Structure 1
């Protein structure tokens, strides 16, 4: 199935500008497929180089204007796939864009280029950044009808949305693929970095986070479980964020004494990865973690939707020490919008403490009946935000 990717359209709209287009995303989210389609479209005017090819890496590290003129002769578009593999890639990109007139450079990365201190020099003013996630429901909505979406919801909560899944026919094939992805590809970039001791501790850390999705996570407790120090845990969490496997949401507070503000919750960008880590691909009828799956699914889809529609709020959760809580807050230009995720439709009142502290905030309960309005449609609320 050919699924139109929103990022491809956004990137193509910027080709022709004297800019470096940075396209980030975890391995296997479809970056290579996108750039191959772009190369096919621009044909002889484009050149595709693979950053993991040692010859390409050595060629580009010869940082001279003459070398780059020879490489790009007759080209308007230069694409470097997995560019984070090339030492001092930032210096290379900076010299390319500053000296080769009329060129657009697309550099893809399965990790932030600053992960291994390879930016070399800042690219501020020269670059545009885009993020590619596993398939978004907004992308699927362009090729499937409502009934198909409803039918496939449970499968997406369990197996997630990595592109390769659409080419696999059975649940067993999908389960095997996700387990292989976790074991072989997901941590590849981190394991090439010094001071990361090996895959075992990172894998166990991810497992601990997978069990605690939607709960406040203590780095002290993680350190005790892993038998390493707290600073190392914090460093590993930062690294795992920079390869786009997990993300954190902090507690929101206006310094009210009853509000939790120093803790974080950690989520995975994809439900399938989380379920592979805990080795549970059982159907929803046999699970006791439906609430966690639903909350993580909505948060990730909402973030994809916001990013693809050029709306970038700050994200928080809200909780008080006496147990009142809200799953997700979005803060933008002083406007606060609260979302509470409920798998089954239910009447949920705004927590009294939140209502008193933030009387102007909006509050929405997200359930199976209305979730698509918040992850696929530019409704009046979203339109007012993305302008």
Structure 2
């Protein structure tokens, strides 16, 4: 079953013909090419755009190898933009395959032509609207808009949300959550039937694609095993506070490898630039300031994370937190990890300062929400523990506890909303009940 990816289609429609290049980014194999060449192309045709007005080229295909030369690519596209009275839509897939060549038009030996020059040139064609995707590390970096000199709009694509996964799930819907938190939201996973097929696909995706991209982009020679170990440690500790110093100490104590925190920090940035992981900053709610360290790291796709660990560490509470974090990002929220300080007295009368965690503080425009992720609140003591931070937040913004249990949503005397994870992920309006 084809997933319509309505959220991303609407973003493309909203940015259509706005005079800027549309740059579709995201972790590899999350569906960027399908979005552009199938879903968006279908929309254009249904809107009355003729086939000859849609100029599409996939540069990763061998028959198009000659167009990896920037001059040939530019020539090929311009030859098809013939009628100045018609609007043309230029769709270039895997544009990072365009080679960097010596600029033949200038004498300076250091002058190069790249895919950026091609795109910037095409943008000057008044009757053209330009769209590009990129899937290796040259395109999967957070400085992408800077490369296009602030003339581009980035559309970030994520793996399938639970709502999208649920829509395309062909088994018993009661098993959808189980499969989603086990195998994640990579679109191909929906078409695979057995655990062996899904596991092999996700493991290969990690080692042959994601790690390879990082190693090639940054010309890493001797630390490939360190990169793998670091990813394993992060995968084992999702939802836990850490920093480069702590990770360095872990290498020293458990792996007997000496690697300094500066190098660890550099590798973490590489993973973030490649959209493999995301870093959540910590925010002091009462002090109204960010805390420099430690942070939390989450994987863009939990299926990739689980496969990395051989599906051995299936702590649903941490995986659920990871899924919730990614879904909030997908919805367009700014997401931080919260801290609420509490002053307490010990039995002997000493004053202590205790930090209580708020799993997520999310902001969008003038709206703010505090969200706690909990496996269950069936026990009164467990519920008190989960809401301890929320009831000490001195403002009136919405406070929500998302639980694994399938429950009918309700509010307590503090005004805190309780809702099940599946309902919360399937209905985006649930957040504003």
Pair 1:362 & 2:380 matched: no
Match of 1:218 in 2: 243
For residues 354 and 377 of structure 1, do their structure 2 counterparts lie closer, same or farther at Cα, with a shift above 3 Å needed? closer
Match of 1:284 in 2: none
For residues 381 and 290 of structure 1, do their structure 2 counterparts lie closer, same or farther at Cα, with a shift above 3 Å needed? closer
Deviation of the 1:258 alpha carbon? 12
Deviation of the 1:139 alpha carbon? 2.4
**Would you say the 8 A contact 2:55–2:89 is kept in 1?**
yes
Deviation of the 1:270 alpha carbon? 1.0
Alignment of 1:166-181 (within 5 A): 166-181=190-205
- The CA distance in 1 between the partners of 2:294 and 2:72, in whole Å, is 43
Q: Which runs of 5+ in 1 are unaligned?
A: 282-286
Normalising by structure 2, report the TM-score.
0.74
Deviation of the 1:73 alpha carbon? 4.0
- The CA distance in 1 between the partners of 2:214 and 2:428, in whole Å, is 37
Structure that is richer in strand per residue: 2
Which one of the candidate residues 290, 297, 306 is aligned to 2:323?
Answer: 297
For residues 245 and 131 of structure 1, do their structure 2 counterparts lie closer, same or farther at Cα, with a shift above 3 Å needed? same
Pair 1:108 & 2:133 matched: yes
**Would you say the 8 A contact 2:163–2:426 is kept in 1?**
yes
Pair 1:247 & 2:247 matched: no
Pair 1:375 & 2:375 matched: no
For residues 138 and 152 of structure 1, do their structure 2 counterparts lie closer, same or farther at Cα, with a shift above 3 Å needed? closer
Alignment of 1:1-387 (within 5 A): 1-6=1-6, 7-37=8-38, 38-39=40-41, 41=45, 43-52=51-60, 54-60=65-71, 69-70=78-79, 72-73=81-82, 76-86=88-98, 87=100, 88-98=114-124, 100-110=125-135, 111=137, 113=139, 115=141, 121-124=147-150, 126-140=151-165, 142=167, 148-197=172-221, 199-224=224-249, 225=251, 227-253=258-284, 256=287, 262-280=293-311, 289-304=315-330, 306-307=331-332, 312-318=333-339, 322=354, 324-333=356-365, 335-346=367-378, 348-349=383-384, 351-352=387-388, 355-368=391-404, 369=406, 370-379=420-429, 381-382=431-432
For residues 214 and 116 of structure 1, do their structure 2 counterparts lie closer, same or farther at Cα, with a shift above 3 Å needed? closer
Secondary structure in 1 matching 2:293 = coil
Between 361-370 and 245-254, the greater mean CA deviation after superposition: 361-370
Secondary structure in 2 matching 1:379 = helix
For residues 301 and 331 of structure 1, do their structure 2 counterparts lie closer, same or farther at Cα, with a shift above 3 Å needed? closer
Deviation of the 1:12 alpha carbon? 4.2
Normalising by structure 1, report the TM-score.
0.82
Q: What is the root-mean-square deviation of aligned Cα atoms in Å?
A: 3.3
Q: Which runs of 5+ in 2 are unaligned?
A: 101-113, 252-256, 342-352, 407-419
For residues 51 and 233 of structure 1, do their structure 2 counterparts lie closer, same or farther at Cα, with a shift above 3 Å needed? farther
Q: CA offsets per residue over residues 30-57 of structure 1, 9 Å max, x none?
A: 1222222144646322222334465323
Q: CA offsets per residue over residues 250-301 of structure 1, 9 Å max, x none?
A: 11115749996521100001111111111126xxxxx662211111122222
- The CA distance in 2 between the partners of 1:354 and 1:166, in whole Å, is 37
Question: How many residues matched?
Answer: 368
For residues 332 and 15 of structure 1, do their structure 2 counterparts lie closer, same or farther at Cα, with a shift above 3 Å needed? closer
- The CA distance in 2 between the partners of 1:117 and 1:10, in whole Å, is 20
For residues 148 and 359 of structure 1, do their structure 2 counterparts lie closer, same or farther at Cα, with a shift above 3 Å needed? farther
- The CA distance in 2 between the partners of 1:271 and 1:218, in whole Å, is 21
Deviation of the 1:160 alpha carbon? 0.8
Secondary structure in 1 matching 2:363 = strand
Q: CA offsets per residue over residues 107-154 of structure 1, 9 Å max, x none?
A: 112357484977775442x32221111111232455569x95432101
Q: Larger RCO: Structure 1 or Structure 2 (Cα < 8 Å, ≥ 6 residues apart)?
A: 1
For residues 8 and 199 of structure 1, do their structure 2 counterparts lie closer, same or farther at Cα, with a shift above 3 Å needed? farther
